[in-house]
Amino acid sequence: MPVTSRGSLSLQSLLSDLRELVECESPSSDHAAVARSAGLVARIGSARLGAEPERITIGGCSHLRWRFGDGDRHVLLLAHHDTVWPLGTLAARPYELAGGVVRGPGCFDMLAGLVMAVHAVADLPVRTGVTLLVTGDEEIGSPTSRALIEEEARRSRAALVLEASADGGALKVGRKGVSLYEVRVTGRAAHAGLEPEKGVNATIELSRLALAVNALGDPAAGTTVTPTVMSAGTTSNTVSAYGSFAVDVRAWTHAEQLRVDRALHALTPAAPGAVIEIAGGVNRPPLEEPASRALFERAAAVAARLGLPPVTGTVVGGASDGNFTAGVGTPTLDGLGAVGGGAHADHEHVLAGRLLDRTVLLRELIAELLEAPA
């Protein structure tokens, strides 16, 4: 028979709150939808925690913060309530609990983790020294919340990120950093039939540059440099006078991010008269493994002491707000959320039977950190 409670933690209560959140759609770019979701998170959180959150609106986007106690050196719990799913997704993919599996848009990434954070903090014997920050724009790169996250991280002794786990429930002890660029070329237009030789062809220059940019990747270091969306030209009978392509860079270390950045800015045109412009830069620093090591070892010890499923760790290519907390030097452990799979996909799901043990692990990890010398 599956375990349905651990002390005062109840699987039924976790699932009840999760269902409410899943059924309140919150696509990141829809500020009205995100505001409705923030209102629901505030209501659920206030009922569980006995305290109202601080409501923070930046650039029209709704964020929430519960801070228990004054001063610095808090334990920061980091979650987000926005999802990638557009309004109307629920009509085709409603919340469902069947065979011990929860399905529904955003359940895995990361509404279940948010619910776990609220219940874990609510079940602590002492909450002083805990900050729970819930942001509303993580899925689009955290444009309005990044400064808020970094500010909280700088005043925290540790950051625990409630993003969904990796395969099999593994915690995420390393994440690649992300850099985003646009390579722009300005050439000179000319009639493609009458006098193409008088033009400077941006399409040809972009094609050459795309190959050069792709070659900046380093498989041995795990660095990928990928040209993505490209556009050039105006009409089929005109030498292209302008064009651009986007570049996605993923790297395990900040040093690799800097190497690629310098190489991109050192690109020079091959065609006389062409002009190259590089826009963009580092979007998220990497979460390097040393930033997670001590917290991971502590989590593994907690699991062993309590007889919980063994804790494993892995590194992943995707980024999260944990990249920001690690980037300012705060010890960070990611992937503490739900066990399941299918993030951003139609088969997104959460294993209901793992919600309790993951919440117990989180609660005990927070409690140990609060007891440790600051």
Which one, of 162, 157, 134, 152, lies nearest residue 62 by Cα? 134
**Strand order, beta sheet including 340-341:** 96-98, 101-103, 349-351, 340-341
Contact 120, 362 (CB under 8 A): yes
The catalytically annotated residue of 17, 25, 82, 348 is 82
- CB atoms under 10 Å from CB of 48, counted, come to 16
For the chain, give percent helix, strand, coil, nearest 5.
Answer: 35, 30, 35
- The span from the CA of 295 to the CA of 290, in Å, is 10
Structure tokens at 204: 């040809």
Q: Which of 25, 123, 137, 138 is the catalytic position?
A: 138
Residues 6+ apart with CB under 8 A from 47: none
- At residue 135, the 3 state secondary structure works out as strand
Please give the full DSSP string across 313-370, using - where no structure is assigned: EEEES---THHHHHHTT--EEB--S--EE-TTSTT-EEEGGGHHHHHHHHHHHHHHHH
Based on the residue annotation, tell me whether 138 is a catalytic residue of this protein: yes
Catalytic residue ranges: 82, 138
